[in-house]
Chains A and B, each alone.
Chain A
Amino acid sequence: MAVVLSLALLVTEHTNLKLGGIRTTLSIFVDPIKYLVSLPNTIVEQITDSATTYRALKAENDSLREEQLIHQTRLLKFAALEKENIRLRALLENSFKLGEQVLVAELLSVNMAPYEHILVVNKGTRFGVHPQQPVLDANGVVGQVFRALPFSSEIMLITDPNHAIPVQVNRNGLLTIAVGSGQLNRLILPFLPSNADIRPGDLLITSGLGGTFPQGYPVAVVDEFTAQPNKAFATITATPKALLDRNRELMIVWSKSVPVPLIAKPENQESTSDAVK
């Protein structure tokens, strides 16, 4: 009986029938275990937080304020650039993608399978998280939401052997795909020929193709390029920008998948300007 039942389950889920409901209900019983396991870590963190001295806090505060000032001034410039970009795109009759919304999620320190690069975070469908959402940190792309449960969600890192991300060389716009290698500090670019214009130190950014990841976020830096004269493709490896193994906080991003035209059609514009006159 049990064998038949489990075989039935396996087959149904393997053939991609939706069993999300069962998983969601069961996860309500199981998720407390994840929180329980990561509890010691959280407690230690809170104790170290509350035990820091006034002076350390003050120093941290000062440095953070300084950093924020720098970022603020940089953002001023970005705002102007963004406006300019919108205007230029309007000239090309192109649409502009609206900004993204982010949610900060904290890592649960659990280990699901040692040979897979999957993290668990403490935000789930209760917060509107859904599968295939991109996940970032302050330095670059971390991965994507692989499965969203009510109280937690599983995130597949870009270095997982089963993960591939469409990227673009920032210097010249060369498009390719970066595949996870199974090592936390390495991505592989298997689909570039030996004469491709790419060299160590090149920044790879998301290309926005495929629609999962928004365009323009840093992914990795190329660190090795070896031409293979007698093979079709060169071997290229890259190091992810995001600190995949040292992060506690991650950002889950909602990018508006439908491009929103910001500037109204010319006729409308004329009519409104007439009205103003």
Chain B
Amino acid sequence: MPLNNYIGFFRILLTLILAMCLRITPFPTDLAFLNPDWVLLVLVYWALYLPERVGIFHAWTFGLLTDVLLGRLLGQYALAYSLIIYVCLKFHKRLRQFPLLQQGLFIFFCLLLSQLLLFFIKNLQHPAQLHASFWLPVFTGTISWPMVYGLLSFVSMFRRIK
């Protein structure tokens, strides 16, 4: 059903845009350090549960958009996202069977990998002295995974996306 397809695509797009909104929402300064990488979390969810709809191309595109959104060097989020989505697609069948806790562990390593890549690229640009708080979003992202999981599975249940 092409129409259903479009609706499904529109829904995925909407969740990703919402994630991008959340990414730049102004929190009070102390909380801003905790703001996790929502775009990656949402991309990982869709890659795990709808691998035939969300692929590396989507990850790359949204990574590039995130680069522009956050005013980063073009391509760094694109690189990180496409690598992680590649891993997710590779293991999606196994990962879907995992209990939430084990999935959380996987998400933790995903976020850590992405943050590490960003850190390396930042370091290549100019040796940066970074706060330890640079790594905090990894933990908050892992903690908020069950929430993202719940919300997005509700979204995809609402009318089954095929």
Q: Does A9 reach chain B (CB closer than 8 Å)?
A: yes
Contacts of A128 in B (CB 8 A): none
Which of these binds chain A: B62-70, B104-112, B150-158? B62-70
Do B63 and A113 touch (CB < 8 A)?
no
Option from B25, B29, B75 in Cβ contact (under 8 Å) with A13: B75
SS class, residues of chain B in contact with chain A: helix
Option from B21, B65, B121, B131 in Cβ contact (under 8 Å) with A26: B65
A1-39 interface mask toward B, CB cutoff 8 Å, 1 = contact, 0 = none?
111011111100110000100110011011001101110
Which of these binds chain A: B3-11, B52-60, B138-146? B52-60
SS class, residues of chain A in contact with chain B: helix
Which of these binds chain B: A46-54, A104-112, A204-212? A104-112
Whether A14 touches B125, Cβ cut-off 8 Å, given contacts A3-B82, A5-B60, is yes
Chain B residue at smallest Cβ distance from A19:
B74
Do A111 and B25 touch (CB < 8 A)?
yes
Contacts of B27 in A (CB 8 A): 111
Total cross-chain contacts (CB, 8 A): 101
Nearest Cβ on chain A to B27's Cβ, whole angstroms = 7
Do B79 and A29 touch (CB < 8 A)?
no
Size band of the interface chain A makes with B: 35 or more
CA distance A157 to B83 in the complex (A): 33
Closest 8 CB pairs of A and B: A9-B75, A6-B79, A2-B82, A114-B32, A6-B78, A6-B75, A10-B75, A2-B60
Q: 4 new A-B pairs (CB below 8 Å) besides A26-B68, A30-B65, A111-B24? A: A3-B82, A22-B74, A30-B69, A111-B32
